[in-house]
Amino acid sequence: MYDLNSIIQNSSKASAAKKELFPPAIILEWPNIHDQYSSKKRKLNLDVYDIVINKTILSHNGAHMVAVTNNNMVCIWKRKK
């Protein structure tokens, strides 16, 4: 995740000719996923295809982030205090 406020402030100070790379503010860990039903017929193992996050949203108070993936997973992260 990136802190857009700091990126916008820093990019306005930087010259237009100079390209800057901004480090992420937070790196979210991806969980180890185990699907107990993958042995059933017509169900692919989760590691067959790359998982792509299609959409994300942050709760109004910033406590939770929800993401949906290309294989119909819904991922929820909760901010630790």
> Which tens digits make up the pLDDT trace of 2-11?
878 877 776 6
Averaged pLDDT of the chain: 76
Per-residue pLDDT at 68 exceeds 60? yes
Q: How far is it, in rounded angstroms, from Cα 39 to Cα 41?
A: 7
Distance between CA 69 and CA 11 in Å, rounded? 31
**Model pTM?**
0.58
pLDDT band at 27 (very low <50, low <70, confident <90, very high): confident
Asked whether the predicted pLDDT for residue 15 surpasses 90, the reply is no
